[in-house]
Amino acid sequence: MHICVRICLLLLGLHTRAVVARKEKRNVLFIMADDLRTSLGCYGDSLVKSPNIDQLASKGQVFLNAYAQQAVCAPSRTSMLTSRRPDTTRLYDFKSYWRVHSGNYTTLPQYFKSRGYFTMSVGKIFHPGIASNHTDDYPYSWSIPAYHPSSFRYEKEKMCKGEDGKLHANLLCAVNVKEQPGGTLPDLESTDEAVRLLKSRANHDDPFFLAVGFHKPHIPFRIPQEYLSLYPIEQMTLAPDPDVPKLLPPVAYNPWTDVRKRDDVQRLNMSFPYGPVPKDFQLRIRQHYYASVSYMDAQVGRLLGALGDLGLSDSTVVVFTSDHGWSLGEHGEWAKYSNFDVATRVPLIFYVPGVTTPHHGMGESTFPFIDVLTQSELGFKNDKVIRNMVELVDVFPTVSYLAGLRAPKPCPDVSLQEELCTEGDNLAYTFRHRERGEDEEAISFSQYPRPADAPQVNSDLPDLKDIKVMGYSLRSWDYRYTLWLGFNPKTFQVNVSDVHAGELYMLAGDPGQDNNVYSDSDHSAIMRKMTSLPHTVSVQMRMRLQLLYLTAGMKTSGRKAR
């Protein structure tokens, strides 16, 4: 063979291998909702209309029991994006930047950027402000400055037309979009920008990581008014457990102060902190929340439709999740700010081309847009479902591995000096193997700070200096176990001997977590074991040992409900 031909073939082979190697690194479309609980069709909520997210779930892997590490925006997002728990980021409020406050931890997009990805942020990914250094952590995490929709500046302004014809800063705020400034809303703008960025990257050789953060269903419910028609008020129902549980420790209750600040809620003149919301207004809140979910679903549909139309769905991992949930009247609570499942449980869906679904042929749209206003009936059918407990700290190592990168190594017990490691687990193995059944070892941890044992104005979101009690909560298959322990905000130390209150819910017979049986058990022996453990043993591990000890006693006495 002529030497020139051999050289050409060699170069062609090298080029082909390079292309294959490039293709092994999948793009990532990372989608986050804000304050979205598992009120989705694919999570068994028969009332909500979410056909586009359900379509993604039908072609992806769905984790039915995924939990946030703290049910408030900045701590949860920082925890997920660094794969470190709040006790490591030391961020429990909105007023510090982890790189200065705790450690120079590598973030999920920063890790992808360091591996040759072009990283982009649209909307709310990091919490804006001090918590992300007023830059959304640019230039560490992003290749270009993060995009924020200009119309978001009006979210807390008087934009909602009341019955008096005047504009108010209301909680319930369905609007005529054409009458809004610029004729648009934040999530509409974010979707437009995200689609533009997808188009700009469609023909690039280097892979991309595009994070898109939608603002809804976060309050205020400023959404296009047509989405209310999907949820006639006469078809809405109250929460199944709308009263504050009799045995709920006062420290565990959140008085939903941010909701109370809205003009329409203030006019209800409710007593603080337990004053119930009038039933007719409860129905309207639930109606507007569900309508906000459907509005957000439509934007997800536009985004996924563009991904398919651009021929990118066969080379892109899609992740969909939320920063935490939101109470809709359960336990007499509204908003987040608690350790209950309605506040900590979130949707978590992974679509991995060729893994969760076969590759599609050329010209075939993987995710055709479904107009929720005209076509909302779409059943969820998928056997790729994981029921055991997982956590948002698991997202970083999992998406890294699924995209073709090496998952970060597990963190040591003390990791303040470790820039890159994970306090979560790589869930990628679950994509190849069917779940075998109940895993009693699967545990998720959440926590929430309080300034005092009784509800007060700053109970929902205390500043670090005001935190006196930390509620550590462990969720297993059968139980939610919470201890409210003394906390020193200056040293970040927890006093495991200073127990302010406890909660124990046996979920087989009490799925709504309404009947606290903590006081039914003798905890003295358990607490002695807890305080006798070495100082290096984490609170989470101590609680896990306690729960094993406690539930073993329940099983022996025949008290475990099945």
Mean pLDDT, rounded, for 109-126: 98
As a whole number of angstroms, the distance between CA 57 and CA 43 comes to 9
Is the pLDDT confidence value at 366 over 60? yes
Stated length of the chain? 562
Q: What is the mean pLDDT of residues 301-319?
A: 96
Superfamily of domain covering 27-438: Alkaline Phosphatase, subunit A (3.40.720.10)
Collapsed DSSP state (helix, strand, coil) of residue 318: strand
pLDDT given for residue 324 in this prediction:
98
CB 535 within 8 A of CB 491: no
Percent of the chain surpassing pLDDT 70: 89
| Residues 459-485, mean pLDDT to the nearest whole number | 96
Q: Are strands 61-67 and 385-391 parallel, antiparallel or unpaired?
A: parallel
Structural tokens at position 35: 């304050």
Q: What is the pLDDT of residues 45-75, one digit of tens each?
A: 999 999 999 999 999 999 999 999 999 999 9
Contact of 52 with 232, CB cutoff 8 Å: no
* Distances, alpha carbon 413 to alpha carbons 84, 418, 472, 488, in Å: 12, 11, 18, 20
pLDDT at 22 over 60: no
**β-pairing, 444-450 with 469-475?**
antiparallel
Q: What is the pLDDT confidence band of residue 196, given thresholds at 50, 70 and 90?
A: very high
pLDDT tens-place string over residues 239-286: 999 999 999 999 999 999 999 999 999 999 999 999 899 999 999 999
CA separation for the pair 274, 253 (Å, rounded): 9
Kindly report the pTM of this predicted structure: 0.92
Over pLDDT 90: what percentage of the chain? Answer: 78
Instruction: Report the SS3 class of residue 464.
Output: helix
Q: Write out the catalytic residue numbers.
A: 73, 127
Q: What confidence tens digit (pLDDT) does each residue in 381-395 have? A: 777 899 999 999 999
- pLDDT band, residue 307 (cuts 50/70/90): very high
168-183 pLDDT per residue, tens? 999 999 999 999 999 9
pLDDT for res 555: 56
So where are the chain's domains? 27-438
Instruction: List beta partners, residue 161.
Output: 167
Sign of the CA dihedral running 12, 15, 20, 23: negative
Helix (H) or strand (E) holding 201: helix 186-201
Predicted local confidence at residue 546, as pLDDT: 79
Task: Tell me the average pLDDT across 456-481.
Answer: 96
pLDDT band at 7 (very low <50, low <70, confident <90, very high): very low
Residue 551 pLDDT? 66
Task: With cut-offs at 50, 70 and 90, classify the pLDDT of residue 162.
Answer: confident
Strands 27-33 and 208-213 come out as parallel
pLDDT of residue 535: 67
- In this predicted structure, the answer to whether residue 553 has a pLDDT above a threshold of 70 is no
Q: How far apart (Å, rounded) are the C-alpha atoms in residues 112 and 98? A: 19
pLDDT value of residue 353: 94
CA–CA gap between residue 333 and residue 314 (Å, rounded): 43
Mean pLDDT of 102-129: 98
What one-character-per-residue DSSP string does 236-254 give? ----SS-S--TT--GGG--
Distance, in Å, from the CA atom of 243 to the CA atom of 333, rounded to the nearest integer, reads 8
Q: What is the mean pLDDT of residues 205-231?
A: 97
Cα separation values, 183 from 187, 190, 273, 299, 324, Å: 12, 14, 38, 16, 30
Averaged over 101-114, what is the pLDDT?
A: 97
Rounded mean pLDDT, 390-405: 98
CA distance 522 to 507: 20
Q: Which residues contact 352 (CB under 8 A, 6 or more apart)?
A: 26, 60, 61, 317, 402, 431
- H or E segment to which residue 264 belongs: helix 263-266
On whether the CB atoms of residues 223 and 231 are closer than 8 A, the answer is no
Which pLDDT belongs to residue 89?
A: 97
What would the mean pLDDT of 154-180 be, rounded to a whole number?
A: 94
Question: What is the rounded distance in angstroms from the CA atom of residue 389 to the CA atom of residue 393?
Answer: 12
pLDDT at 380 over 80: no
Tokens (6 digits) for 560: 């475990």
pLDDT, position 10: 45
pLDDT at 3 over 60: no
Instruction: Return the pLDDT at 360.
Output: 60
**Local confidence band at 507 (pLDDT 50, 70, 90 cut-offs):** very high
Please check the confidence at residue 19 and state whether its pLDDT lies above 60.
no
Residue 294 predicted with pLDDT over 80: yes
pLDDT of residue 539: 84
As a whole number of angstroms, the distance between CA 305 and CA 366 comes to 8
Residue 557, pLDDT > 60, answer no
